[in-house]
Chain A
Amino acid sequence: MDLATFLVQCLNALQYGLLLFLVASGLTLIFGVMGVINLAHGSFYMLGAYMAYALAPAFANLGGLGFFATLAAGVVLAVVFGYLLEWAFFSFLYERDHLQQVLMTYGLILVFEELRSLAMGDDVHGVAAPAWLSGSIPLGTLMAYPVYRLFISGVCVLLALGLYAVISRTRLGMMIRAGASNREMVSSLGVDVRQLFRVMFAAGVALAALAGMLAAPVSSVYPGMGNQVLIICFVVVVIGGIGSIRGALAAALLVGAVDTFGKVFFPQAAGVLVYVLMALVLLWRPGGLFKAT
């Protein structure tokens, strides 16, 4: 592998890892702060992708801005959806044991998949990237790198920085950090925990949905797309340490790199490598790379 190819592969790994981070960050926050295991998180990713598909025609006449309008509308819808969902299905789950959380959210996956099937059918759909992002940057004679993928990476980096700022600088962030290491303490700080959880959950849903929307043009939208993402995000969260945004970022990038280079160098074992990585991390640090204490 020559240097140019290697660099491009690094770029690929980075982009994939960043996208994973976006989904996994919501998952790890919901785990860490609220103590809820949410199997339905992948469904929010799917929801986002389908929103990108369904909403795009509504904003088509806005031209280049239509894409951003779609994203904005999707995020708003996702927040509202997450808020209502938390109220309806999750608010009473916090006191329950993990087994019930697993069950409830497993039931939700089934329901979401069927509702998706009823509402949108079972076909595969493509989503167009906005025209001004759909080009490629030529690299050397044959290689080219799609601009849209750079765009995804850029957005993810911005979001990661934004998340970092929120968590390390704001009062909300302080509560999140406190909650991740000690849930009961948050309530003793005089915070309305129910409201905090609802906001957190909505934010988690929005992050996953946004990831889905961003990914839609490169991944297309198809049934069952959420479950695939879910399990790899579990791996990311386990490696990174539950509740740790920093950990999620590091782990997502690590998983992205292992997956990308695994495909190139060990195509036979590519599917398993990520799990081997997880096993190794567990051996070394059962609490993940960045255990939230």
Chain B
Amino acid sequence: MKRSIIALAFAVLLFPLQSMGQAKLKVGLMLPYSGTYAALGDAIEKGFRLYLAEQGGRIAGREVEFVKLDDESDPAKATDNANKLVKRDNVDVLVGTVHSGVAMAMAKVAKDNGTLLIIPNAGAVAVTGPMCAENIFRSSFSNWQPGYAMGEVAAKRGAKKVVTITWKYAAGDESVGGFKESFEKAGGQVVKELSLPFPNVEFQPLLTEIAAIKPDAVYTFFAGGGAVKFVKDYAAAGLKDKIPLYGAGFITDGTLEAQGADAQGLLTTLHYGDGLDVPKDKTFRAAYAKAYGAQPDVYAVQGYDAAQMLAIGLNAAGGDVSKKAEIAKAIVAAKIDSPRGTFTIGANHNPVQDMYLRQVVGKDNKVIGVATPALADPGRGCKM
């Protein structure tokens, strides 16, 4: 027993050390490869690798080596996992992840160790707010952004009284917060904020409540399985054609196949969509389809842009990850040529980007306009 434990200890602690010693650029991909978000992690990695392939497998002249780690979307293990990449595998860059709680833990580790971190999805406001740091970047969005954009849209479309509904969790609260901020600034009123525990999906009582309140519109933030069910329940409760449903883009992203007819015509806001008139998007989609035999989604774009941001920063620093100030300066100064359209990185290291208004048509989230151009997250509490 004891001997086998010691053998295991050697295997676990020493195995990964074998591949050390070259000047390769080590990129630690800490993404969900199992569980609910596995598909998202997969898309992010594919996007990242696509950009790398376009660059001939090198960033700033250095060959790239990946160290992959499944974060299981489990925040309880997140600090350990991030530490493993930083301290055991000595990665030069951390890339990850999808789950906000895990990303929060990663940000803490990155901040403590000074490791460069690029977040390719998780929208936790705190990461580019109070937790912001010179070496922490995001290639996706903050939860606040799509909500804020939709608040303006809802007000413009004449809604006065709105009910919001979301899971009682940080991402939902932040999204609703963004919506409320712009909507009430434009003179509207959020008459009731409904919520239910994450990831509970028994929406029926809340839908009954909505029907009783009779608001002008409903704003919602759900994702994944909850998004599918909410849209279906909303239609089944007979509300779809009577009270417009507005949502942050995730309610119809990657879920349209499951939602079917019930999602048709829904309006959502996000920084990406289908039918964008952006040349870069067309080449990106073609390349992605050729490489992987599937259409890319917003997560693939975020992975792709994470790689781009890394390249911009490292090129400016001559491939030296320790020159954090130069990396940050270059990334903040850059105009990033993304499939979502050109965007920049704000002072708090969150993208400043156009938020698109999209409508569900068939199996597409068709872009029908820009809801808010060049929207920047306020980065409240960020001191850099």
Contact = CB atoms under 8 A, between A and B. Distances in A.
A12 B212 CA distance: 14
A117 B38 contact: yes
Contacts of A123: 39, 254, 258
B36 interface: yes
A198 interface: no
Interface stretch (A58-66, A89-97, A202-210, A218-226): A218-226
Contact of B228 (A13, A122, A124, A260): A124
Contact of B211 (A126, A142, A223, A261): A142
B312 to A, nearest CB: 32
A123 B225 CA distance: 8
A114 B199 CA distance: 20
Chain A contact patch, size range? 35 or more
Interface string B203-238: 011101101101000000000110111001100111
A276 B21 CA distance: 57
Contact of B202 (A16, A121, A125, A145): A16
B208 A122 contact: no
A128 B201 CA distance: 17
A38 interface: no
A122 B42 CA distance: 11
B206 A263 contact: yes
Interface stretch (A69-77, A184-192, A264-272): A264-272
Contact of B194 (A141, A221, A267): A267
B260 interface: yes
A172 interface: no
Interface in A152-166: none
Given A9-B205, A124-B224, A136-B236, A224 B260 contact: no
B39 A259 contact: no
A143 interface: yes
Contact of A1 (B36, B206, B212, B229): B212
Interface residues of B, number: 42
A148 interface: yes
Contacts of A57: none
A268 B242 CA distance: 28
Given A126-B228, A142-B238, A220-B258, A267 B195 contact: yes
- Which among A145, A221, A222 has the greatest number of chain B C-beta atoms within 10 A? A222
Interface string A118-147: 000111111010000010101001111110
Given A15-B204, A138-B238, A264-B205, A122 B229 contact: no
B140 interface: no
Contacts of B214: 141-142
17 contacts: A1-B212, A16-B204, A123-B39, A124-B224, A124-B255, A126-B259, A136-B237, A142-B211, A142-B238, A144-B238, A145-B237, A148-B236, A149-B236, A223-B36, A263-B196, A267-B168, A271-B200
Interface of A: 1-2, 5, 8-9, 12-13, 15-16, 114, 117, 121-126, 128, 134, 136, 138, 141-146, 148-149, 218-225, 228, 259-261, 263-264, 267-268, 270-271
Interface of B: 34-39, 168, 194-197, 199-202, 204-206, 208-209, 211-212, 214, 224-225, 227-229, 232-233, 236-239, 242-243, 254-255, 257-260
